[in-house]
Structure 1
Amino acid sequence: MTADMPLGNDPLSIRRRIEMMEKVLERSFVIPGINRPVGLDGIIGLVPVVGDVISMAMGAYIVWEARNLGLPKWKLLRMAGNVAFDSAVGAVPVAGDLFDFMFRSNTRNLRIIKKHLDKHHPADRIIEQ
């Protein structure tokens, strides 16, 4: 992926924005020694209250972009449920922070969006390596 964020409203631009956001939130860098990718979602979740609110807002952005793609309401509710569940459990001190590193709501939501786009916009399908 390039460093430039696509600004268009076409499905391919929205897909790339969502993929970039998911990568930043879930897989920005690898923790040395355990070789586990982490992102901003887990890191800012360590900050009590404010970190969880920011993390939830960034997850809600992905749901908003999915709404712009025209996903059905039941898929949007499922995605919102993923974000809400991640935020609710992530708000628990210590155990919630560990949970944030394991439960990747944004990755789950990206998977829902990709399935929808591959079915309804096959011309924008990206072959992953």
Structure 2
Amino acid sequence: MTQHDTEERLRRSWQLANLLDGIWTIPFTPWKVGIDALLGLLPVAGDFLSALLALGIVWQAHKLGAPKSVKIKMLANIGLDFLLGSVPVIGDIADVAFRKNQRNAALLEKWVK
């Protein structure tokens, strides 16, 4: 895999992470929300769909040849967010605060560098 391919996969991972975790700023606050937080408002199906979308970053890690340990940490972040999301109100707060996708993109970037 070339350096350009690696950079492109990292760029895609960050794009997806930012779309899901922080594309919009909540007015008059420093907090950002993304599609993940909006999906979290839908009981069960929203958290499931959010987890499926988050697997896109794990897929990029797999295509880059990341070790199992990195992918397991990423899957653990997704699983934890899914479990927290199943709890009313706490799940909605966790979607804004935990930012599993940005954590996973950072894990991938750290492994690449």
Residues 58-73 of structure 1 aligned to structure 2 (within 5 Å) = 58-73=53-68
- RMSD value, Cα: 1.2
- Structure-1 residue corresponding to 2:94: 99
Runs of 4+ in 1 over 2 A off after TM superposition: none
Q: Percent identity?
A: 36
Residue ranges of structure 1 left out of the alignment (5+ in a row): 1-8, 119-129
**Following TM superposition, by how much is the alpha carbon of 1:35 offset from its aligned partner in structure 2, in angstroms?**
2.8
- Structure-1 residue corresponding to 2:13: 18
Residue ranges of structure 2 left out of the alignment (5+ in a row): none
The reply to whether residue 87 of structure 1 matches residue 93 of structure 2 is no
| C-alpha distance in structure 1 between counterparts of 2:103 and 2:77, whole Å | 8
TM-score, normalisation: structure 1: 0.81
Residues 1-129 of structure 1 aligned to structure 2 (within 5 Å) = 10-118=5-113
The aligned length equals: 110
AA matched with 1:100: D
- Structure-2 residue corresponding to 1:121: none
| Structure with the larger RCO, 1 or 2 (CA within 8 Å, 6+ apart) | 2
TM-score, normalisation: structure 2: 0.92
